[in-house]
Amino acid sequence: MKNGRKNQALPSIVVLAAVVAIWWMIVVATKSVIFPTPWQVVTGTLELARDGTLWEHIGASLFRVGAGFGLAVLVAVPLGLWMGRVHGAFITLNPLFQILRPISPIAWIPIAILWFGIGNASPIYLIFIASVFPMIVQTTSGVHTIEKRYLNAAENFGVPRNKLFLQVVFPASLPQIITGMRIGLGVAWLVVVAAEMIALRSGLGYMIIDSRNAGNRYDLVVAGMIIIGLIGLALDGIMRLLENMKVVRWRYVH
Amino acid sequence: MFIKNKIEVQKVRKGFGTNGSRLEVIEGLDFKVGDGEFVAIVGPSGCGKTTLMNIIAGFQPPDDGAVLVDGQPRHAPSAKGIVITQQGSVFPWLTVRQNLLFGLADDLPEREALAQEYAELVGLKGFENNYPHELSGGMLKRAEIARALVVKPEILYMDEPFSALDALMSLRMQTELLRILAKERHTVMLITHDVEEAIHLADRVLVLSPRPARIQASFDIALPHPRRVSSPECQALRVAILKELGVTAV
């Protein structure tokens, strides 16, 4: 098993190494003075890590994502469960959310600045807006796709409403809720970088724009991009851990 | 033999669709099930057996007629009669123990002991903390039976309960069911297309006609348990029942 995993990882490591090698060769061959080599990116990253600004930017971005995404979970899960159970709520609210959902969070930036200024509240609001709709949709669909036989069984035993909710509706929808959270967190991470590029003075998005504006430090631009990618991967990994919880395993084994 | 009627089905009629293309599924069905009696209903597939079960258990209203349980009209499902279906409905997100506790009131002091007792009764001791997807098909069925019995229902409604299992496991579960029913008497309504299963288990077999369903024939089975389905009496019954179903048995 362990050996098999190693063998599976091998091709992707080869591809990664090839990409870095080709990148390096092209930069050397074209004698570019602006575009950095992989090594310059590494030294640039170390420089930022040493003087501490890298951690500040990462912390600022993660804080905004945590706050915006956390608020979105608190709103989306109860709202999605309610819309899934109460048909009237679904037909009333669903059209509104279906209209709001396709609007790119970037399009909200001017309004966010108007309403919330240029502090932390704007990006938190944007992240909230970006991640709340996919989570509502997934949660609602999680409730809608609960198999009738389970609802019939619950009805048969005549359990009180709170028990029906805690032991049937919520756990039955949980796998889809987690899928929604994975989508929501992915979108949130995309949005925080974009939001920080516009109006803020901290965060990885700001770091990228600032590195370019302050002396064409493209080594730091690329470093920022790679760090964003790695953190995004880690966040998704955390969400995958949720999918491995025992209470939702049933959804993925057959 | 059965002094009191537990279930009375009175002139139940059910159809689907609108006036133009209406499909009559059940037409004026009338029968009674005694208290503690085991009645099996056999019929050709698609004859409305499951619809009938849903009506009797209270999940669907009849278009006409009534279902009485203990003389009272039934309008909704209740824990007095638990349904066990072919697909099963053991909650996959709860452990065996949590499934058994599901139907028991939270403030019942002996609920843990009851769950333990019924897990043992069906032979699931040691698997209480397993999730359903970690169990075999037969064990899952046992869990479902235990979850039904632990709430002490007066009636068990079984709709093709063992037909998703392989033939050997199905036979084993039938024997298990008889063993359990010998310990605690329940009124049972079994719907099946397996004539031998019906003969093996039931006190009475009702044969339904093709759609729209009516009762075409009724067979009392007064043989003592355990029954040998290969005995001449059982085989004679089997031939007679299959004949009602339009099959010439060899």
In DSSP terms, which residues pair with B12 in a beta bridge? B29
CA dist., res. B91 & res. B173, Å (int):
20
pLDDT in tens, B9-47: 999 999 888 777 888 888 888 999 999 999 999 988 777
Domains of chain B: 5-80+154-244 (3.40.50.300), 90-152 (no CATH)
The answer to whether B83 contacts chain A (CB < 8 Å) is yes
Q: Is residue A1's pLDDT more than 50? A: no
Alpha-carbon distance A161 to nearest alpha carbon in chain B (angstroms): 12
Sorted by sequence, the CB contacts under 8 Å of residue A139 that are 6+ apart come out as A76, A77, A79, A80, A81, A83, A84, A173, A176, A177, A180
Q: Is residue B169's pLDDT more than 50? A: yes
Q: Name the more confident of B48 and A75.
A: A75
A91 CB-contact burial (10 Å; exposed 0-12 / middle 13-18 / buried 19+): exposed
Q: Which of B161, B190, B160, B170 is nearest to B45 (CA)?
A: B160
pLDDT in tens, A35-59: 999 999 999 999 889 989 999 999 9
Task: Say which of B59, B77, B131 has its CB closest to residue A246.
Answer: B131
- Note whether A157 contacts B59, CB cutoff 8 Å: no
Per-residue pLDDT at A199:
66
- Mean predicted lDDT score pLDDT of chain A: 91
The ipTM, to two decimals, is: 0.89
- Note whether B93 contacts A163, CB cutoff 8 Å: no
Q: Is residue A201's pLDDT more than 60? A: yes
CA dist., res. B250 & res. B239, Å (int):
8
**Which residues in chain A touch residue B57, judged by CB atoms under 8 angstroms apart?**
156
Alpha-carbon distance B240 to nearest alpha carbon in chain A (angstroms): 35
Per-residue pLDDT at A251:
85
Q: Cα Rg for chain B, rounded, in angstroms?
A: 18
Pick the range with the lowest mean pLDDT from A3-12, A102-111, A152-161. Answer: A3-12
Size of interface A-B (CB pairs under 8 A): 58
> What mean pLDDT is predicted for residues B120-146?
92
Reading the block at residue B189, the tokens are 């309504």
**Residue of chain A whose Cα is closest to the Cα of B155:** A156
Sheet holding B64-69, edge to edge: B23-34, B5-16, B64-69, B72-73
The answer to whether B132 contacts chain A (CB < 8 Å) is yes
- Mean predicted lDDT score pLDDT of chain B: 90
B8 SS3 class: strand
The pLDDT-based confidence of A216 (bands split at 50, 70, 90) is confident
DSSP state of A28: H
**Which residues in chain B touch residue A167, judged by CB atoms under 8 angstroms apart?**
91, 94, 98, 102
Domains of chain A: 52-249 (1.10.3720.10)
pLDDT in tens, A227-244: 999 999 999 999 999 988
pLDDT in tens, A134-186: 999 999 999 999 999 999 999 999 999 999 999 999 999 999 999 999 999 99
